[in-house]
Amino acid sequence: MNHQHEEALLNSWQERQEFAEKMQPLLGKLHRDSAVEITLYGRPLLGANSIDIIKAHRSVRLHTGEKLRLRESWPLLDVMSRMKLAPAQIDLGKLAYNYHYGDAAKGRDVETYLRDELADILDRDDDHAPQDVVLYGFGRIGRLLARLLIERHGKNNKLRLRAIVVRGGKEGDLEKRASLLRRDSVHGPFNGSITIDHERNALKANGAYIQVIYANSPAEVDYQQYGINNAIVIDNTGMWRDRDGLSQHLQSKGAKKVLLTAPGKGDIKNIVHGVNHADIEATDYILSAASCTTNAITPVLKALDEHYGIENGHVETVHSYTNDQNLIDNFHKAERRGRAAPLNMVITETGAAKAVAKAYPKLAGKLTGNAIRVPTPNVSLAILNLNLGKGTDRDEINEFLRKTALFSDLQHQIDYTASTELVSSDLVGSRFASVVDSQATIVAGDRATLYVWYDNEFGYSCQVMRVVQDMAGQPVPTFPASKKVG
């Protein structure tokens, strides 16, 4: 490589860095002032550093075959930052690509193009009232939900984390709770500042004031004494899964609705966002967000069934160990789960295959399922062995799933990778319900085997947040709008 080429390479990199650094404050401004979240071909840019922004732009070529340069997306972001926009999720990458390489521009300048594309949220006031949210329980899912709620904290974000309810109350408890939120062995450090208010039993995190309430049951809690009203209570303890048990939350003063972060029993609606969230009604006071595995597999199964038809199939989940297992051999009421989780692969059962039908009834009775718990702390894999209604081939089914992940109504649930080097730890922190591993796809006529990864903690928590937004009557529109994939 000659000196001239080296110099050009360095100048190109420096240009990208400069544009990325210019983008960072605008991404923050859009979020703070308008509750607008910017993505780039599905990759979230909220809180991204300059290298993350550059890498996100580089990934566009994998989807389009063409580069998207930062100098091409910058003018669109610059114009958007000066617009009055209602809350939304806007894919800057797709808008910029369509403007520069598609036929979307049609002679329009950037501002006219964006005013047309974003007309539904342009110059609109967000008249939603702030929604109080309470976390009942503060375990793995509870703390990740806290992170997700806090990262969105701002004057125009209408979901407000007001309190967490935990057992305990002994000396040093607040410090322990703060430390567990501040540091996480799997997901890394909390992105921000956390301080403790001992006098009022509260945590302060990135401008959010979070009351810590000690109680052994919902009957002991009066949220109104803390100024909390009409709250959505997210029960992530799993102690109650039926309507009678969860109804206890509605007896607490200041609570209005309950969302369970586990499969609900009886007549409770199990919601997998992207699949059956339209079933949420204003009169639904108790809902379930189903399980992590159900959220991972149902969107992919729905897409495949609608396009190919699914005659029947088997789902095997290779699942990271959880708190329900023992670190070393000890008594456990369930078979095999008493054996040491970090040392063994443990065959166990899963209800996820049957639970799919609660969110997508067309597959009722068509799926069987089982699970193997493995010695990893997070990220799981679902293997879908399916008999389809018509024949296909590997390339065709992969291309269908790639387009589904990019452009369909399931684009927030399904991600897609063509990497030949991907392993489970690469997907820690994925905000998608599932990630289709296209390189592992096997197809023989009307038989298909698909490998679907999922961050069973963080990806699931993102799905829970989407359900909370709909329960609050605050769904977030996506731009550009999705399109039918076929």
Which residues are catalytically annotated? Answer: 292
Could you give the CA distance from residue 76 to residue 394 in angstroms, rounded to a whole number? 37
| Separation between Cα atoms, residue 340 and residue 172, nearest integer Å | 30
The closest of 301, 295, 231 to 459, measured between CA atoms, is 295
Q: What is the DSSP string of 69-104?
A: -HHHHHHHHHHHTTS-B-SEEEEHHHHHHHHHHSSS
Residue 82, CA atoms < 13 Å, CB-side half-sphere: 9
User: Under DSSP, is residue 129 helix (H, G, I), strand (E, B) or coil?
Assistant: coil
Q: Amino acid letter at 280?
A: I
Which strands, in side-by-side order, build the sheet including 208-214?
194-197, 202-205, 208-214, 159-166, 131-136, 231-235, 255-260, 286-288
CB 73 within 8 A of CB 36: no
Cα dist from 50 to 17, 24, 71, 257, 354, whole Å: 6, 7, 14, 40, 44
**DSSP code per residue over 1-60:** --HHHHHHHHHHHHHHHHHHHHHHHHHHHHHHHH-EEEEETTEE-TT--HHHHHHHHHHH
Beta bridge partners of 160: 132
d(CA 263, CA 358): 10
**C-alpha–C-alpha distance, residues 478 and 117, integer Å:** 11
Q: Hey, is 218 helix, strand or coil? A: helix
Tell me which residue has tokens 């609606």: 269
Cα 432 to Cα 149, 222, 396, 454: the distances in Å are 17, 35, 23, 7
Residues 292, 434: contact at Cβ < 8 Å? no
Helical segments of 192-268, H only: 243-246
Tabulate helix, strand, coil % of the chain (nearest 5).
35, 25, 40
d(CA 336, CA 321): 13
